[in-house]
Chain A
Amino acid sequence: MIPELGHFALIIALCLALAQSVLPLIGAHRGNLAWMALARPAAHGQFVFMLIAFLCLMYSFLVNDFSVLYVAANSNSALPFYYRMAAVWGAHEGSLLLWAFILSVWTVAVTVFSRTLPQAMIARVIGVMGLISVGFLLFMLMTSNPFERLLPAALEGRDLNPLLQDPGMVMHPPMLYMGYVGFSVAFAFAIAALLGGHLDSTWARWSRPWTIISWTFLTTGIALGSWWAYNELGWGGWWFWDPVENASFMPWLVGTALIHSLAVTEKRGAFKPWTVLLAIFAFSLSLLGTFLVRSGVLVSVHAFATDPRRGVFILAFLSAVIGSSLALYAWRAPRVKSGGTFSGFSRESLLLVNNVILVTAAISVLLGTLYPLILDALNLGKISVGPPYFSAVFVPLMLPLAVLIGVGPITRWKQDDAGSVLRRLIPMLIGVTISGLAVLYVLTRHMSIMTSVSVVIGLWVIVTALRTLFERARKGQGGWLGLPRAFIGMTLAHLGVGVFILGVTLTGAYSIEKDLRMDRGSTVIIAGYTFTFEGVKQIPGPNYTANQGTMHVTRNGKEIAVLHPQKRTYLVQTMPMTESSIDIGFFRDLYVSLGEPVDNGAWSVRVYYKPFIRWIWSGALIMALGGVFAASDRRYRIAVRNKATLEPNAAAARA
Chain B
Amino acid sequence: MRPQRKKRLMLVLLIVIGISAAAALGLSAFKQNLLYFYTPSQVAEGEAPRGRAFRVGGLVEAGSVKRESDGLTVHFTVTDTAKSIPVTYKGILPDLFREGQGIVAMGRLDDQGAFKAEEVLAKHDANYMPPEASYAVKKAAMEAMHIKPGQKP
Contact A393 B95 (CB under 8 A): no
Q: Which residues of B contact A389 (CB under 8 A)?
A: 29-30, 32-34
Closest beta carbon of chain A to B111's beta carbon, Å: 24
Q: Known: A388-B32, A396-B25, A517-B71. Contact between A577 and B37, CB under 8 A? A: no
Q: Is A343 interfacial (CB-CB < 8 Å)? A: yes
Contact B36 A364 (CB under 8 A): no
Complex formed: what's the CA distance from A353 to B16 in Å? 11
Q: Which residues of B contact A632 (CB under 8 A)?
A: none
Contact A356 B26 (CB under 8 A): no
Contact B11 A352 (CB under 8 A): yes
Closest beta carbon of chain B to A513's beta carbon, Å: 10
Q: Is A301 interfacial (CB-CB < 8 Å)? A: yes
Contact A388 B33 (CB under 8 A): yes
Contacting A at CB under 8 A, from B95-116, are 95-96, 106
Complex formed: what's the CA distance from A379 to B148 in Å? 11
Q: Is B62 interfacial (CB-CB < 8 Å)? A: no
Interface string of A340-365 (1 = CB under 8 A from B): 01111000010011001100100010
Q: Known: A304-B125, A515-B92. Contact between A382 and B37, CB under 8 A? A: yes
Q: Which residues of A contact B96 (CB under 8 A)?
A: 575-576
Complex formed: what's the CA distance from A604 to B95 in Å? 13
Contact A598 B95 (CB under 8 A): no
Contact A353 B124 (CB under 8 A): no
Q: Is A381 interfacial (CB-CB < 8 Å)? A: yes
Contact A299 B130 (CB under 8 A): yes
Q: Is A602 interfacial (CB-CB < 8 Å)? A: yes
Q: Which of A341, A596, A603 touches B7 (beta carbons < 8 Å)?
A: A341
Q: Is B67 interfacial (CB-CB < 8 Å)? A: yes
Residues of B bordering A, CB below 8 Å: 3-4, 6-7, 10-11, 14-15, 18-19, 22, 25-26, 29-30, 32-37, 55, 67, 69-72, 91-93, 95-96, 106, 124-126, 128, 130-132, 135, 149-150
Residues of A bordering B, CB below 8 Å: 161, 163, 234-235, 299-301, 304, 306, 341-344, 349, 352-353, 356-357, 360, 364, 367-368, 371, 379, 381-386, 388-389, 392-393, 396-397, 515-517, 573-578, 595-596, 598-599, 602-604, 606
Q: A343-B3, A344-B7, A392-B29 are in contact. List 10 more A-B contacts (CB 8 A).
A: A235-B92, A304-B125, A341-B7, A356-B14, A356-B15, A381-B37, A384-B34, A384-B37, A389-B34, A604-B92
24 CB < 8 A contacts A-B: A161-B125, A235-B92, A343-B3, A344-B7, A352-B11, A353-B18, A356-B14, A368-B30, A382-B55, A382-B132, A384-B34, A384-B35, A384-B37, A385-B30, A389-B29, A393-B25, A397-B25, A515-B72, A517-B71, A573-B125, A575-B96, A575-B125, A596-B92, A606-B92
